Structure 1
Amino acid sequence: MTDHNSLPNSTPDVTSADLAATSIREMILEGHFMPGDRLHQDQLAETLGVSRTPLRTALARLAQDGLIDYEPNRGYRIRRFLVTDIREAFTVRANLEGLACRLAAESGMSRSDRDRLMTLVEEGDRILSNRVLDISQLPAYRRMNVEFHETIINAAGNRWIGRFVHQSHNVPLVSDRVILWDDFGVIHRSHDDHHRIAKALADGDGVRAQNLMSEHVIYAGQLLADRLEADPTAALRHAFQDRKAER
């Protein structure tokens, strides 16, 4: 997981504001902040090792993207989203990632991408091999899950798919970083989907891979939205429990 104590090394075309925006976005998506939390600029500037000017630019950009809200005389807060927003964003994400699977299969995934997907599936198998959800294993499972989805999106060969999927992540709970780590049966089912998706892609079966991925994402969205409607506090606690433990 990204180390947010300092910004990564920049390239000539990347500004401090760009790096700050990327780091803060990852912190939000990974649950370092909860919906409604206020962002304290002095603390953020110290954590990221940047001055206030690029930080303000970064925050303004994230507000434009819809991740945070600006309140005059009060500063920035993590945006709150309605459950209907989450359901609708998951529908968009499901269709986009399903399309990514079909394009990746039809274009012929590289051997390295196919091998990487299988390695990630095996990593998930190892994490779940004890048939219990160890909280210390959640970060590793999350990293595996993110890389699994990103590998397929990149293999699709269409940069717009990745751009729009990442835009859907601006509804933070829709991000593939969110894992409800409290029901082994649910996690096991989800990881079984990874097996089937990887197999369909390896077989070049784009339609099956598309349908499997769409259902995989829709199921995750329905589960999360239903949990939020039934008990928002508990759902947020389970979605970000390893992050809450660090706070």
Structure 2
Amino acid sequence: MVERDSDRSVSQTVRAQLSLRDLILSGDLRPGERISELQAVETTGASRTPVRMALVRLEEEGLLEAIPSGGFMVKAFSERDVLDSIELRGTVEGLAARFAAERGVSSRDLEPLKGCLDEIDGLVRQDPISVEAFSSYVALNARFHALLTELSRSPPLIRQVDRASALPFASPSGFVMTQSTLPDARHTLLIAQDQHRVVVDAIENREGARAEAIMREHARVAARNLRLVLRNKTHSDLLPGLALIRMAGD
């Protein structure tokens, strides 16, 4: 099958976006560093139009900032920026949980969510939990959050949750792998999994306020992990982009 020009442009844009994102998150492009369209063309090997689109997408993600003189600059994030993003994600996920509870879901609707929790239970029973298990947890945790959001049956809200989760370092599993190096790693996962169980119970019993409060509290597990990671950077290689975050007081 012959690749059409429009398809080729889209694929070049995606490749350029991924390549530039990797350079930013790996620290090869540092906070405050300027990146021009021409420089990005030379770096990625893509043509100018796809590169221009890739740079705009990275600006929308929050990793780049357009500068008046032309081109883009790699953004830095304060600890407060990231904490605010996590809080925002928890707020909209809480609203999704409340909608799901108040609008009602069937037992059949909850089956995929409960199945996901059963799989997570198998991981957190390990003591100690292996790095491989933490990696599996990342995927299952992302699935749990996506399934829960879908139960809101609110397309506008689902879009807002997706946008909040896409903010730099705000995703539900953003700090899980770095958490794996900490002494109380298993204890933290057990707390998070208990919150998963409680919110599903609240949704099943149509307790909207309770479901919303639990999801907002659940997001604060990520906030706690952020603080721990920033103050213990011995395993910063497990969190791409950590160099973009400035600690409070820096």
* Partner residue of 1:193 out of 192, 195, 201: 195
Corresponding residue for 1:34?
Answer: 25
CA contact (8 A) 1:201 1:209 kept: yes
Establish whether residue 123 from structure 1 lines up as the match of residue 114 from structure 2. Answer: no
Moved beyond 6 Å, runs of 4+? 12-15, 71-75
Q: Distance in 1 between matches of 2:180 and 2:42?
A: 29
Of 206, 209, 212, the residue aligned with 1:204 is: 206
**Cα 1:128/1:58, change in 2 over 3 Å:** same
Q: How far apart are the structure 2 equivalents of 1:168 and 1:150? A: 13
Higher Rg: 2
**What corresponds to 1:20 in structure 2?**
14
Query: How much has 1:18 moved relative to structure 2?
Result: 9.8
* 1:99 and 2:95 are equivalent in the alignment: yes
Map of 1:181 onto structure 2:
180
Return the alpha-carbon distance in structure 1 between the equivalents of residues 203 and 16 of structure 2: 31
Query: Percent of pairs identical after alignment?
Result: 24
Residues 97 and 14 from structure 1, CA distance in 2 versus in 1: closer, same or farther, beyond 3 angstroms? farther
> Measured at CA, do residues 209 and 195 of structure 1 come closer, stay the same or move farther in structure 2, by a change above 3 Å?
same
How many residues are aligned here? 224
Whether the aligned pair in 1 keeps the contact of 2:92 and 2:157 (CA below 8 Å) is yes
The alpha-carbon deviation at position 78 of structure 1 amounts to 5.2
* Distance change in 2, residues 1:134/1:201 (3 Å): same
**Number of the residue aligned with 2:82:** 86
Q: Calculate the TM-score normalised by the size of structure 2.
A: 0.72
Q: Matched residues in 2 for 1:171 and 1:200: separation?
A: 27
Instruction: Specify the code of the residue in structure 1 equivalent to 2:187.
Output: G
For residue 77 of structure 2, give the secondary structure of its aligned residue in structure 1.
coil
TM-score computed with the length of structure 1 as normaliser: 0.73
Distance 1:72 1:181, change over 3 A: farther
* Amino acid aligned to 1:16: V
Q: Secondary structure at the match of 2:169?
A: helix
In 2: Cα distance, 1:125 partner to 1:147 partner:
14
C-alpha separation between the residues in 2 aligned to 1:214 and 1:22?
35
Q: Tell me, which stretches of 5 or more residues in structure 2 are unaligned?
A: 30-34, 242-250
Counterparts of 1:204 and 1:226, CA distance in 2: 35
C-alpha separation between the residues in 2 aligned to 1:194 and 1:22?
37
Gaps of 5+ in 1: 1-8, 242-247
